[in-house]
Amino acid sequence: MIDVHYWPTPNGWKVTIMLEECGLPYNIVPVDIGGGDQFTPEFLRLSPNNRMPAIVDHEPLGGGEPLALFESGAILEYLAEKTGQFLPTEPAAKYSVLQWVHWQMANLGPMMGNANHFKNYAKNIIDDPRQLDYGTKRFVGEVSRLSGVMDAQLAVHPYLAGAEYSIADIITWPWAFLIGRMLDESMWDEFPSLKRWVDEVGERPAVVTGRRVGRELGKRELTEAEEKARRELLFNQTNEKVRAAREAAARANA
């Protein structure tokens, strides 16, 4: 059995979609990131970067003790190797998939996270909205550029890494399908091949099911005070602020 330390967000969906695609049984362990579960000693032992998703595989590839992993890219690569699915073994094909996996992890995910932050969240935090202009322009501009990169690739290939559906698609779709919703629905007009792929992948049964996992978890209405505490927790994580949790975890896990 695989434990998935999870909250229903794009990075979490990558793992549930992959597990559904592979037909592997799994058990969801909720990590309420707005409530601070990512700072508990138990979670920091699995994921020292205080970010979900993380997994624990109790019957790991290669045998032995349960294997804990954080970072969605590493998790998908591991599950692909474990099941022999969605990552070819022939070197040229394998690395053509992995270059897109790394592209998502280093580009689309972080840029969309920041674009969403500046465009949708930051106005609730700062007093002068003009302070948001530069950050919004910079990150929305990057998402537009990255959408063009995907669109050009998908204009000549059915899937991101070529002819076959792979972990490159599984890792990218949970961010890509939100581009219009997070930024601007009219963006799709500029990227028809990307839109074709978003719609097609979105119809796969494993994608539909994986994205629904834990839907109810994030649904509770928060009070204004809870919302404020959540913003402080998620958007103000200097070393000074998280050091205490890390040190407490180190003591508890020693």
Ligand X SMILES: N[C@@H](CCC(=O)N[C@@H](CS)C(=O)NCC(=O)O)C(=O)O
Q: Which residues contact ligand X (rule: CB under 6 A)?
A: 9, 11, 33, 38, 50-53, 71-72, 105, 109, 234
C-alpha–C-alpha distance, residues 222 and 206, integer Å: 30
User: Which residue, 51 or 204, is less far from ligand X as judged by CB?
Assistant: 51
H or E stretch covering 196: helix 192-202
**53 upstream amide cis, omega within 30 of 0:** yes
Taking the complex as a whole, the smallest distance from the CB of residue 38 to ligand X amounts, in Å, to 5
Kindly tell me which of 15 and 195 has the beta carbon lying closer to ligand X: 15
Distance (Å) of CA 97 to CA 88, 93, 163, 170, 218: 8, 6, 11, 11, 32
248: tokens are: 């407490």
Nearest distance, CB of residue 222 and ligand X, angstroms: 16
In contact, 58 and 66? CB cutoff 8 Å: yes
Task: DSSP letter for 9, please.
Answer: S
Report the alpha-carbon distance of residue 148 to residue 204 in Å, rounded: 24
Minimum CB–partner distance for residue 53 and ligand X (Å): 6
Q: Name the minimum Å distance from CB 192 to ligand X.
A: 28
| Nearest CB to ligand X, comparing residues 76 and 195 | 76
Q: How far apart are alpha carbons 230 and 203 in whole angstroms? A: 33
The sign of the torsion formed by the CA atoms of 200, 205, 208, 210 equals negative
Residue placing its CB nearer to ligand X in the complex, 112 or 195:
112
Question: Could you identify the residue written with the tokens 């909720």?
Answer: 30
User: Min. distance of Cβ 186 from ligand X in angstroms?
Assistant: 26
Residue 9 CB contacts under 8 Å (≥ 6 apart), including other chains: 33, 52, 218
- Whose Cβ is closer to ligand X: residue 134's or residue 235's? 235
CB of 105 to ligand X, least distance (A): 6
Residue nearer to ligand X on the CB measure, 53 or 210: 53
